[in-house]
Structure 1
Amino acid sequence: MILGSTGSIGTQAIEVVTAEPDRFRVVGLAAGGGRPDVLAHQAAALGVEAVAVADERAVGDVSARLRECGSSAKVLAGSEGVAELAAWQCDVVLNGITGALGLESTLAALRAGRLLALANKESLIIGGPLVREAAEPGQIVPVDSEHFALAQCFPRAAPGALSSLAQGQVAAPLDEVRRLVITASGGPFRARTREELAGVTPAEAMNHPTWDMGPVITVNSATLVNKGLEVIEAHLLFDIPFDGIEVVVHPQSVIHSMVEYVDGSTLAQASPPSMRIPIAYGIGWPERVGAAAPPIDWTSAHTWTFAPLDDDAFPAVSLACEVGSAGGTAPAVYNAANEEAVAAFLGETLAFPAIVDTVAQVVSEHRVGVAASDLSLAELYAADEWARRRARELITRAV
């Protein structure tokens, strides 16, 4: 099952699947509906049983395109339809949906007992306590390149092993792990000061030096909000406290993350900057998929550099640590305010530094009133809606 099939993760997943036709069969696809021709052609080529369209207004268009392509796939509508498809009988659900929409699908897949290849970090960020409650140990295979890397750097099992939702790791005892080191490319502006970021344009922010991604995640990478979300995600997946997680800038994006042990040794996962590798790892678990992407050329000279993160120019990571430590609805507020601020920046109504400034202001006004153990979807969505409304108010004043 591929959710978010017309996006970057989904299209690459289909490339991996179609390269191994004797190994994989896709039974369903879900997408927003903004690219009906692409979705219909995917459905017809893969012979899927069902298609879910998140935007109900696009259902008619998608249905017409499916008929034109000769596909008889059942069409499900709305977020409820996407969640229904996530629970269909299959071995693995790849959740590559962008944004908060992915939460219900994540929960549906987990509650149906499916192995979840998780590329939608927002569903874990927003609904962390609900996801932790719904997931069995090892039911989630992380597809984010950083968490895919971390999952492979815990080399041995022992009594009292590290508690983890994430599949793919054989956990070391917690007292042997000194810290997790998450790498960041630094985005297109890594050498700039805060003052130098004031005039950057959406086109400049979209020019990521190593990764080809959708607009929201690309801007998030430029602000380092994406890295902040990944720190929260690492905490939730691997049960490591925030003071045991560090971000370092690694522009080459070859070392995807590392686990440092108390004896001074560090294990790192290295591969070219290709999302096909973690995608293949997620959908092929527990076996690796051959030739998912070309390996590193070890016959050539390489220079890999590492530098500390400039928290003054890029405060999103430290803010995310505060939000993650607060827990409850705070991460949902961080994510929602950011999505609104990014939309305003892309629409050229908000300056680049004001993205994180807006998020910080909304977070500062939020009060976490519900214990994590008592959270419900309704309360998370209410916090999400409040944060979006408040962010829009702040953005309007800034214009």
Structure 2
Amino acid sequence: MVRKKIIILGSTGSIGTNALYCVDASPNAFEVIALSTHVNVDLLLQQAARYRPKAVAVTGRPLSEPEKNDLKSLDIRFFEGEAALVDMLHDKDFDMLVNAVVGAAGFMPTLAAVDKSVDIALANKESLVIGGEIVMPKVKEKNVRLLPIDSEHSAIFQCLMGENYADIEEILLTASGGPFRTFDDFKHITLTQALHHPNWSMGKKITIDSATMMNKGLEVIEARWLFDVPVEKIRIIIHPQSIIHSMVAFHDGSIKAQLGMPDMRVPIQLAMTYPKRQPSAFPRLDWTTLKELTFAEPDFEKFPCPALAIEALKTGGTAPAVLNAANEIAVARFIREEISFDQIPALIEKVLLAHDFVSQPTVEDVLGADQWARKYIGTRV
């Protein structure tokens, strides 16, 4: 059996460690070529010693001399700095990129992988949020398989297997509603409360995005580009149990849904092993204990972030890049407890209103808008 050569970017985060779990579950299926981290070098070194990749990358701080010596002793090449991920991708031969980088930093690595015509298992939704208009034409040109890791987009992908996209009436993007669905006072929400998701175990940034429901707004943008459907055909629906991961309604009245336990390893493994479905020991859904599946409309007055994202998508051009950058900074400020939870959408809206958007953007326009938003927040907000 020929092993699939994979690179996992963001290997020390929640998605990355789960991807390595899937490698462990099917050791004859994968060869780990390279790994990366932003700042968690201790864990990266442990992973390097275990999986013996050909290279590693660290983007958030310089490696110390002892750390470099550890890697040299394992005959592992290392890359450092802002361009480390792209440099490493250009340097290595591989079959699949698992892009689990958090935020806009994942955009250029996605483009680099597309240029190499390799399969991409995409957890970095920001690649499509800020640059879907650029990425997707290249994906089609290079005949790249872009496989979603987000549970919702994996569900939609599975519902559309064997279907004609022209038959889609509506994509139903499910959302748990987060921990504050029944809250009335958002001003005094603490960081500890916001980091406690009722159903999913995720990294800090995406957990906060789920609490504000910005994550669902970003997922609407991602779905628009992944499945080539207009935003008017994408509908957010609250489903607190997180058992139905998303649905697709067709114009003959049929609806297909994908169900399963809320376990990120399931969509990660599917993306990594596609087109095969690898057997797993993941927990199964017990229908006899499942009491109810409930649904509700989202409240965009209470949770304005998804509406901001949808409006940015409709505006197009560099608007989603500005939205994403503003959100990244706002969430980081909340995590540092510099702003309150209810100030997150207000900050994002202020930045969006201040930006002069560029239509039909180039890569440079997207990166420039991202940097403009970060600088604007740093000096004006």
Superposed pair shares fold, TM > 0.5:
yes
In 2, the alpha carbon distance for the partners of 1:350 and 1:388 equals 16
Contact 1:206 1:219 in 2 (8 A): yes
Amino acid paired to 1:230? E
1:213 Cα shift?
Answer: 1.2
Evaluate the alpha carbon distance shift between residue 191 and residue 65 of structure 1 in structure 2; reply closer, same or farther with a 3 A threshold. farther
Contact 2:33 2:94 in 1 (8 A): yes
In 2, the alpha carbon distance for the partners of 1:138 and 1:178 equals 26
In 2, the alpha carbon distance for the partners of 1:26 and 1:46 equals 7
**2:173 equivalent among 182, 189, 193:** 182
In 2, the alpha carbon distance for the partners of 1:198 and 1:266 equals 39
Kindly provide the CA deviation profile for residues 352-374 of structure 1, in whole angstroms up to 9, marking residues without a partner as x.
111011111111222213x32xx
The equivalent residue for 1:386 is 372
The equivalent residue for 2:51 is 46
Contact 2:248 2:256 in 1 (8 A): yes
Q: How does 1:209-358 map to 2 (within 5 A)?
A: 209-291=198-280, 293-358=282-347
Evaluate the alpha carbon distance shift between residue 285 and residue 43 of structure 1 in structure 2; reply closer, same or farther with a 3 A threshold. same
Is the counterpart of residue 58 in structure 1 residue 63 in structure 2? yes
Amino acid paired to 1:285? Y
* SS of corresponding position for 2:159: coil
Q: Cα RMSD between the aligned structures?
A: 1.6
The equivalent residue for 1:163 is none
1:56 Cα shift?
Answer: 4.7
Evaluate the alpha carbon distance shift between residue 327 and residue 48 of structure 1 in structure 2; reply closer, same or farther with a 3 A threshold. same
In 2, the alpha carbon distance for the partners of 1:100 and 1:60 equals 29
Contact 2:150 2:267 in 1 (8 A): yes
* SS of corresponding position for 2:249: strand
Kindly provide the CA deviation profile for residues 217-273 of structure 1, in whole angstroms up to 9, marking residues without a partner as x.
111110001110000000011111111111111111111110011222210000111
1:24 Cα shift?
Answer: 1.2
Amino acid paired to 2:108? E
**1:22 equivalent among 17, 20, 28:** 28
**2:105 equivalent among 89, 101, 104:** 101
Higher deviation after alignment, 258-267 or 331-340 = 258-267
Amino acid paired to 2:177? G
Is the counterpart of residue 131 in structure 1 residue 120 in structure 2? no
In 2, the alpha carbon distance for the partners of 1:90 and 1:138 equals 13
In 2, the alpha carbon distance for the partners of 1:368 and 1:61 equals 46
Contact 2:71 2:77 in 1 (8 A): no
1:184 Cα shift?
Answer: 0.6
* SS of corresponding position for 1:197: coil
The equivalent residue for 1:78 is 81
Q: Which runs of 5+ in 1 are unaligned?
A: 157-170
* SS of corresponding position for 1:57: coil
1:192 Cα shift?
Answer: 2.0
1:394 Cα shift?
Answer: 5.1
In 2, the alpha carbon distance for the partners of 1:274 and 1:237 equals 22
The equivalent residue for 2:150 is 144
Is the counterpart of residue 206 in structure 1 residue 195 in structure 2? yes
Contact 1:97 1:120 in 2 (8 A): yes
In 1, the alpha carbon distance for the partners of 2:66 and 2:157 equals 41
In 2, the alpha carbon distance for the partners of 1:126 and 1:134 equals 15
The equivalent residue for 1:162 is none
TM-score by length of 2: 0.94
Kindly provide the CA deviation profile for residues 252-304 of structure 1, in whole angstroms up to 9, marking residues without a partner as x.
11111100112222100001111101110111111112116222123433311
Amino acid paired to 1:29? L
The total of aligned residue pairs comes to: 372
Amino acid paired to 1:82? L
* SS of corresponding position for 2:29: coil
Amino acid paired to 1:74? R
* SS of corresponding position for 2:36: strand
TM-score by length of 1: 0.89
Amino acid paired to 2:99? N
1:109 Cα shift?
Answer: 0.5
Evaluate the alpha carbon distance shift between residue 292 and residue 226 of structure 1 in structure 2; reply closer, same or farther with a 3 A threshold. farther
* SS of corresponding position for 2:31: coil
Kindly provide the CA deviation profile for residues 195-230 of structure 1, in whole angstroms up to 9, marking residues without a partner as x.
x11111111101111111111111111000111000
1:85 Cα shift?
Answer: 2.4
The equivalent residue for 1:161 is none
Evaluate the alpha carbon distance shift between residue 292 and residue 119 of structure 1 in structure 2; reply closer, same or farther with a 3 A threshold. farther
* SS of corresponding position for 1:385: helix
Evaluate the alpha carbon distance shift between residue 65 and residue 221 of structure 1 in structure 2; reply closer, same or farther with a 3 A threshold. farther
The equivalent residue for 2:4 is none
In 1, the alpha carbon distance for the partners of 2:25 and 2:316 equals 41
The equivalent residue for 1:172 is 164
